[in-house]
Structure formats: structure tokens, C-alpha cells
Amino acid sequence: MALNQLLITFAIVAVVLPQVVLATEFVVGDNSGWTINFNYTAWAKDKEFHVGDKLVFKYPAGKHNVFKVNGAEFKDCVIPPVGVAQNTGNDIIPLAAEGEKWYICGIAKHCESGGQKLAINVLPATEKWTAPAPAPTIPSSAKEILTSRYQLLVAVTVAIAMILNV
């Protein structure tokens, strides 16, 4: 492939790629991570979760874990069999389907007494997956960093193309 074709391909990929990777990764609890005595209801309240986004549960491995449960189990902190827990301390959970999702910690009484439980509502995938430009209303700082990185990539590609006069 000629160099100019390579550069053009690279530029196209750099423009198209953001729509694929712009899924948001939500670090549950932000800097507090996944822990006890944190208000996950308040944390989730002003956020919009969409299909394609990811939840990241961060905690010291062994201190907590993550169970995906149903609404009744969530309400009563019913802990499923240990084998099905996520427990790496950096558990990434892709939001694959719409609807309400519930997560609890299954260690000791962390859910019951420590409030270590998260309920979210996952909305359909947004137009950010198909639109030609990243949606301007996305508030996440992670997305802004990603977006600016790609803008830089595009700018550099164009600059190289101009320098090489292709």
C-alpha cells in the first residue's frame, strides 16, 4: 500500500474510531471505590448509564467482592453462592443490556450494614455509537480526554500528510 493510502486510511480510522471506543467506564464510587459507608444511590443518581458502558469496581482484593443480583436480593442483601462473585479488586462489568441492574458486596454484612450496594438503570446505547461526531453533551471527563486524544491524532495525521504532500 502506498504511503498516502496508508495515511488516508489512518486518518479515516482515527475519525471513525471514537464512536467505537467512546463507551464510558464508570469507576464505581469514583475515588472512594467499592467500599462500605458510601452512598452509591447518590453516586449513581446524576449519571446516565448506557448499553456499551462499563462499571469498574475497585477495592483491595479480598476485602470486598461484587455480586450481580436481582431486585429482591438487592433489597434484602441476599448473597448468592460465593463462586459467582467477581473478586479481583478491579472488576470490569460491561453493561450489555438495558434495564435495572443491581450489585452488592457479599463480604460479611457490608451490604446489610455498610450500604455496599449499587442499583442502576441502563439506558439504550446512545447515538454516540453511530453519529459521525462525538456527542457534545457527554459530561464525563474520561470521554473528553479520549476525544481530545483522537482529535490530536487526526491533527497529527493531517499534518504529516501535508508535510509529505500526499
Query: Between β-strands 54-58 and 49-50, what pairing exists: parallel, antiparallel or unpaired?
Result: unpaired
Nearer to Cu ion among residue 86 and residue 147 (C-beta): 86
86 binds Cu ion (CB under 5 A): no
Nearer to Cu ion among residue 37 and residue 121 (C-beta): 37
Interface stretch with Cu ion, choices 16-24, 56-64, 81-89, 155-163 (CB under 5 A) = 56-64
With contacts defined by CB under 5 A, how many residues of the chain interact with Cu ion? 5
Interface stretch with Cu ion, choices 9-17, 63-71, 122-130, 150-158 (CB under 5 A) = 63-71
The full 3-state SS of the chain, as one line of letters, equals CCHHHHHHHHHHHHHHHHHHHCCCEEECCHHHCCCCCCCHHHHHHCCCEECCCEEEEECCECCECEEEECHHHHHHCCCCCHHHCECCCEEEEECCCCEEEEEECCCCCCCCCCCCEEEEEEECCCHHHCCCCCCCCCCCHHHHHHHHHHHHHHHHHHHHHHHCCC
Site for Cu ion in 106-145 (CB under 5 A): 107, 110, 116
Nearer to Cu ion among residue 110 and residue 143 (C-beta): 110
Smallest gap from residue 5 Cβ to Cu ion (A): 54
- Please identify which residue in 77, 95, 105, 146 interacts with Cu ion, judged by CB under 5 A: 105
Nearer to Cu ion among residue 64 and residue 101 (C-beta): 64
Instruction: Quote the CA–CA distance of 145 and 160 in Å, as a whole number.
Output: 22
Smallest gap from residue 65 Cβ to Cu ion (A): 7
Q: Which residues bind Cu ion (CB under 5 A)?
A: 64, 105, 107, 110, 116
